[in-house]
Structure 1
């Protein structure tokens, strides 16, 4: 698609950006080479692109390029955010990082911004902020930049593999802004910055996708090399298994989109307290979930109890909202046990699942099933109760034979719950 010309576009930009033979009066060829060599060769040990970007901007400023503010704008693959911005200002040793949720592209703030104009296809958007006669839209951002004492602002594309297009901005505080030599020097840096940023972005993307689908702790193990079948460790953990009641009936009666919304709301109510209290959700199983609280945290059992308390409150609020919509309240069952589990990779040669298995998981699952029979939403094993030291806060329901176990298990429930 042919790009439309935008406000203040420099017709000489391609030559300046991609290797102009001119050298800046302020920046010698030695300084230019030092910055490029550093960017390509000496950033290999730095994991985060924001740290590299901060140091790059500082080096540019020290070399005489009047960069006073700069940003990187990336589109990212994340379940919650569509993009992120890294912002550096002169004098700061750290960048500000902001994330943007899906839907921001429809907001008034975005639509009335130079970034929107750039994303419509321009190769450059530029504004001389200290020139009152400059033509083109006077976006609210320009007023903010003038208030900061900035004189020049530009947006350029930062191209990644297969034409993936991100954005970089530079702003100057020097009277008159950037000159042609500044533009040439900044342009020479962009291809190297594109390579460096793409590597970090894809590393972060891989980590984000792993965190999204297997959880933060399992993702760390996988990124560290736990990728072979059977690799894993034995860990002590408090185990929580939760299941939604009558989901099959609901999925038959409700429209598909309503069912998906119901599941998402239910998982939000359960998951957020679990994660907030240090639990790790290993998998969603249809309308259920499996989570562990590693006993490396001495307060793991107490954290699990706090998570259940908050999750029940969230589910009560969700049921109130469902009742107002004319829907039946959601029922659920939670089984809790504690013990050693095998934590690692299980599956076929080409398709693995990073999960936990072992008798302790089976007991938690049997307790969850027992909630249907006893009509109590949450059941705990004696092993968990003894470990947590919470017998005085729970009601003993007696001993029950659980499928697959030789010995009955003492079962406890929350006080006052039916």
Structure 2
């Protein structure tokens, strides 16, 4: 950018006197938004109210950096007359792209307190920024971007663009500028709430996170849940981790968990725990299709593992082997741990049985084993072959064990 235009605001605003003028919109933002959970809804209502008050607003956007394992940031774009705002997310690495570098958002992130641009003249093209040329083509005439300053120096960005031939007046800009401190506070609260939810969903799963956010945080609190249980473990991981470089081991685990976990989550399962190279997941029987969903997830996971192993063999690496144990029963679902450190998980004999079945896959050389109790509930005996009865550590009686025929996986995953 060759130039950054400065806004001529009233001295009271420039001198930090806030608000320069109290308005109904400012009162609404302060007093009437506490019951709304989502910042995109608040932003839409704010922009609609600004238009109703006579401000020549054609477009506005919020740009947030967010704490998410998949996304670097999010953008909310409001356009006059289009109804709900558009919400976009951006992957990590966005800051290294040409579209971000030198943009108004990047300039504000880097410390600039204002970007102002006249879109109605040739400045849009002269700036060299595709954004300004695009906004001008949409009939917008004036543009301003400001930081939303939040706790510990974190800066997000809000932008406003006018569709009036004369753009924004100083009075319009003063009204918008007065909204920034409250908009920063209102958005920070929603971002913190979303962060708490995201972190819980990332580390304990969506269902457990809902329970925790609803107040299930007392040690020993929980409920009894009937569920289909799946325990999965990677074979020879100790040998691999001893021989391979650390980064290669982490990459291997991430690829393996992607192959196994995405089908589980896609079909309604809840991954409760990663234990090194293993995982524990449940499919609550409150859903009539829970057992069938688990079977479909296992079939798709096997296909994903086959694809992963084909890639590994093409790179002259060993194929990965794994074992899965599946059982069904009642489990205690809730908080367990010390006074200061809790784990929201499931325990009970049914979980132990699934774990023993997974361990038994090493002995019988079959990748997936299911109990008779699960086979009866899922009504899938036609696709099974009995491997006989085996003693399971911690259980008094032997358990009849079944394995799936290989053709079942192909049929189930393609159904």
1:93 is displaced (CA, Å) by 2.8
Aligned counterpart, 2:221: 231
- Is 1:286 the counterpart of 2:283 in the alignment? no
How far apart are residue 294 of structure 1 and its match?
0.6
SS in 2 for 1:65: coil
1:9 and 2:6 matched:
yes
Q: Distance in 1 between matches of 2:292 and 2:356?
A: 22
Q: Does 1:87 align with 2:77?
A: yes
Secondary structure of 1:111's aligned partner: coil
User: Where does the alignment leave 5 or more consecutive residues of structure 2 unmatched?
Assistant: 410-415
Could you say what secondary structure the match of 2:343 adopts? Answer: strand
What is the aligned counterpart of 2:35 among 45, 48, 64?
45
Instruction: Give me the TM-score of the superposition, normalised by structure 2.
Output: 0.94
Q: Deviations over 1:159-210 (max 9, x none)?
A: 1112111000001100121110011000111111111111111001000000
Q: CA deviation at 1:10?
A: 3.0
Deviates more, 1:61-70 or 1:127-136: 127-136
Q: Is the 8 A contact 1:22 1:181 kept in 2?
A: no
Q: Deviations over 1:128-175 (max 9, x none)?
A: 100225796231011111111100111100011121110000011001
Partner of 2:329: 339
Q: Does 1:256 align with 2:251?
A: no
1:353 corresponds in structure 2 to: 343
Aligned to 2:167: 177
Matches within 5 A, 1:132-143: 132=122, 137-143=127-133
Supply the distance in 2 between the matched residues of 1:22 and 1:204 (Cα, whole angstroms). Answer: 32
User: How many angstroms apart in 1 are the aligned matches of 2:10 and 2:255?
Assistant: 50
Contact 2:206 2:270 in 1 (8 A): yes
Name the residue aligned to 1:269. Answer: 259
Residue segments in structure 1 that go unaligned for 5+ positions in a row: 24-28
Name the CA distance, whole Å, in 2 between partners of 1:9 and 1:402.
75
Tell me, in whole angstroms, the C-alpha distance in 2 between the residues paired with 1:22 and 1:333. 67
- Counterpart in the other structure of 2:372: 382
Match of 1:165 in 2: 155
86-95 or 376-385, larger mean C-alpha shift:
86-95
Change (3 A) 1:173 1:385: same
**Cα deviation 1:59-93 (Å, max 9, x = unaligned):** 01100111111111111110000110111111133
> How many residue pairs end up in the alignment?
407
4+ aligned runs moved over 4 Å, structure 1: 11-15, 17-23, 133-136
Structure 1 residues 13 and 194, CA gap change in structure 2 (3 angstroms): farther
Counterpart in the other structure of 1:111:
101
Relative to structure 1, is the Cα distance of residues 198 and 13 closer, same or farther in structure 2, using a 3 angstrom cutoff? farther
Normalising by structure 1, report the TM-score. Answer: 0.94
Which secondary structure state, in structure 2, belongs to the residue aligned with residue 68 of structure 1? strand
CA distance 1:372–1:174, change in 2 (3 Å): same
Corresponding residue SS for 1:158: strand
Structure 1 CA distance for aligned equivalents of residues 202 and 385 of structure 2: 37
**RMSD after superposition:** 1.9
Cα deviation, residue 6, structure 1: 5.5
Q: Answer yes or no: is 1:196 the counterpart of 2:193.
A: no
Structure 1 residues 6 and 341 mapped into 2: Cα distance closer, same or farther (>3 Å)?
Answer: farther
- Map Cα deviations across residues 336-378 of structure 1 (whole Å, 9 max, x no partner): 0010000000000000000000000000000000000000000
Instruction: Tell me which of 361, 372, 375 is aligned to 2:362.
Output: 372
- Deviation, 1:396, is 1.2
